[in-house]
Structures are given as C-alpha cells and as structure tokens.
Chain A
Amino acid sequence: MIRSLGLAASLFAGAVLFTGCTTDEQLHDVSGTITHDGKPIPKGLIFFDPDAAKGTTGLQGFANIEGGHFDTALPGKGKGIRGGTYSVRILAFDGKEAPESPFGKGLFPEHQFTKEFPSQKQTFDYDVKKGK
C-alpha cells in the first residue's frame, strides 16, 4: 500500500517537473515558389506581416528565398504564421555577393500585397510580374 502511494507520488512529481509550460502558440508553416516574370528569384526574402486592420495580430512570419523556393519550416531560417490576413512583402536580389551588398543587386523594389491565409500548413506560389 505504502509502496504504491510512493509510486503514485513520484509519478505525480515527475509529471509536474517534466511537463513544463507550453505557451508557444501553434504556427503553421508556409512553403512555395516565388518567381519574377516566370524566372525563379535567385536570392531573397519573404515576410508575412499580420494585418491588424483586418483583425490579424501576432508575430511576423518570414523565410529565406533561395533558387526561387522558400520554406518557413527550415530550422532557424524562418517562422510560420498564425493564419489570417497578412501583408506579404517580397524582396529579390540577383545573388551575386559583393562587399556592401551581401545579396547582390536588387531585382525590383520591394513587392507588397495583402492576402488571406488559412490556419493550416500550406503552399503558396507567387509570380512577381515584370514592371512591378
């Protein structure tokens, strides 16, 4: 009897000790292909800024674009999104590294638009039209 009580107590203590706090909210990863006039962007960045005017708050999602592809799930290289309306910003560079320009020359001024994203893991492909 006493032994089983002790076992139960140690199990409880273990549960309290090892569960910890889980305050991290559920973020959903986005991946996809970003092209400029049909051609993949050599190097760039994509940001997802929550649009509070449409009721979406929270953290900023971001990912590296390499060879046209981006994935917020790459460990340490991106952050997913909560879902909702986001202001998407795309920056693109030619990838030819040089002093003072680690990404190379810019391909076009930052491209920005607003889009709604569902609250789930998803793919998102986008083509930045020439002249934009």
Chain B
Amino acid sequence: MFSPVLRARRGFTLIELLVVIAIIAILIGLLLPAVQKVREAAARMKCQNNLKQIGVAFHNYHDATGKIPNAYDAGTGLSWHVLILPQIEQENLYKRFDTTTANPAHTSANRNDPNGLVKLATYLCPSCPLTEQAFGAPNNTNGDTDRIPGTAAGSPAAIPHYYGVNGPRGTHPTTGALYPVGTTLHENVPVATSGMLQRDGNNKLIDVTDGTSNTLMIAEMSWVSAQYGTRYRTWVRGGEEYAGVVAGRPSFVVSGRNVTNAINSIFTANLIVPYNDIPFGSMHSGGMNAAFGDGSVRFLRQSIDMPTYRSLASRNGGEVLSANY
C-alpha cells in the first residue's frame, strides 16, 4: 500500500522552477550569439561569391578583348563596374548606357546618370547596411549635385562596395624607394599607378609580373563610419572624366583606391583621409575579402603587415612575399 503522504499531488517548489528557468536562459544565451555568428559567416561567404563573380568576369573580359578592364573608360568616364556588365549577365542593363559619347568636363559627367539608381546585388556586400549615397549631417561631404537628378529633390545614387586596386603608395619593402604615382593631386594626394587597375593603357594579365595570384585586383570598401565615413559615389562613375588621355591624369579615381593605409584602421578611428587614400575595409570582423588577379578570393586580416599589404597591391614591384598573410 502507498502511504497517503506520497500519493498526495506535489507541485514544483519555487527553487526548482527558478533553476529550470535559469538553465533554459543559459542555453538560450549560448545559442543566440552562435546564430549571429552563422549569419555573419553566411554574409561573408556571399560577399566572397560576389568577388569571385567579379574576378571571373574580369578574366572573361580579358578573353574577349585582350586586356583587363581599365579602372574606368578615359573617354566616357564609365567605371569598370559598367564595363564588365556583359560578363556578369547584365547585358540588358549595359545596353541602357551611352558607351560612346565622351564626357569632356569632370564637373558633371556620370554622377547624375539615371542608371546609377540601379542596385546590383553583385556589387553589394550583404554585411554592409549602406547601399546608397549618404546625405546630410554628419556626412558633410556629399552635396545635392550628387543626387539623381542633381537637385535637392533627386534620389541618392546606388553605391558599389567593391573597388579596384590602383596600387600601393608608400615605400617599396626592398628598395625603400617610393612607389610610382601620377603627377596630379586631389586633396593633396596622387593616384598610385603600379596596381592592376589603371585608367590608361591596354593592361594584360601578362603585365602582372609579380604573378596574378600574388596581386590584389578588387577589394572591399564596404563600411559605415559614424562621421564623414560615407564618401561613396554612384557605381556608374569611374573618376575624373576627361575626353582622351591627358598625361599625369587622373587626379582621382572613383572606382578604385590606393593601398596607402591599413585595412579598417582609419575608419574605425573616424578619421577622414584624402579621397584616393580611403582605406579598404569591411563590416566583417577582423578584415576584408579581396579578389586576386587570378580570380581567387581570400580574406585579408586587418593585422596584415603593412609592407606585405603594399607588396600585394603592386603588379610589377618584384617584392618577395612572406607566406604570412
């Protein structure tokens, strides 16, 4: 026979309930950050896929035309983002562009091109929430003339998150000499000329004497800085637009950047740097993705040795690379 004491219905005590709730809370606490990590890992992979597409498109462009795309077209001022559209299966969008008329002045050119409102997923890193030009305080850098059309009533342009590598600016790690740069300045700083993407010339893969697998081609600049950080422009615009090649030009490139400053470091410090020198970087933790000349995509840590980073940016410097990057 059961004793009546044992048979009586007995509920949970307060302590037991609290312990169970605490255990559940701890388990959720363990799980939630992991979910965020997985989300970020997925975004990073999607970003790497975008860069891979761009890398493959560059090689297809090279096959079709015998050269890699210029940083931008010296005549029309259109960015490489536009030039490779047929290679990323956006032929229909490409047909909407005027690819023949020269833009003689650098004052307006492509910044108000209505095609600049089109957002292409291939050019956007999913980790970066900013997909169009920022206006207003504290970004005191973009005027209404940048809108499409260029009035206060215009819409902000879509921006790209991937940029060409103009080349390194600074000292060569072996010779100590300064890397070659253009002769004209923008915000006191010239454009580097020893990277893979240049405005001028028929640049072939064979000209990349450092080896395409050792040379940066496209890298991320996809971040949001609290102050002044959003110095983005429309993805259509390539740079200082001049009809034809002028010696020493361009003074600035919109579709590319110099490798002058460390990955991520400057924007986390909320510093503003000259336009050509705005550092590459991303919202991924610890570094950024980059496509190399051979089309491979690698994650570059922000703690990369500065001389190594510069060496990777030059196409013909003859630097010896250490394996540690």
Contact = CB atoms under 8 A, between A and B. Distances in A.
A76 B262 CA distance: 14
A52 B265 contact: no
A110 B192 CA distance: 14
A100 B271 contact: no
A66 to B, nearest CB: 11
Contacts of A50: 305-307
Contacts of B142: 99-100
A110 B262 contact: no
A91 B274 contact: yes
Interface string A45-89: 101011111100111101010000000000011110000000101
Nearest to B175: A53
B303 interface: yes
A110 B189 contact: yes
B271 A62 contact: yes
Contacts of B265: 59-60, 62, 79
B188 A57 contact: no
Contacts of A20: none
Contacts of B305: 50, 57-59
A76 B171 contact: no
Contacts of A51: 171, 176, 307
Interface of A: 45, 47, 49-54, 57-60, 62, 64, 76-79, 87, 89, 91-93, 97-103, 106, 108-110, 112, 114
11 contacts: A52-B174, A57-B306, A58-B306, A59-B306, A62-B269, A91-B273, A99-B140, A99-B142, A102-B272, A106-B187, A108-B188
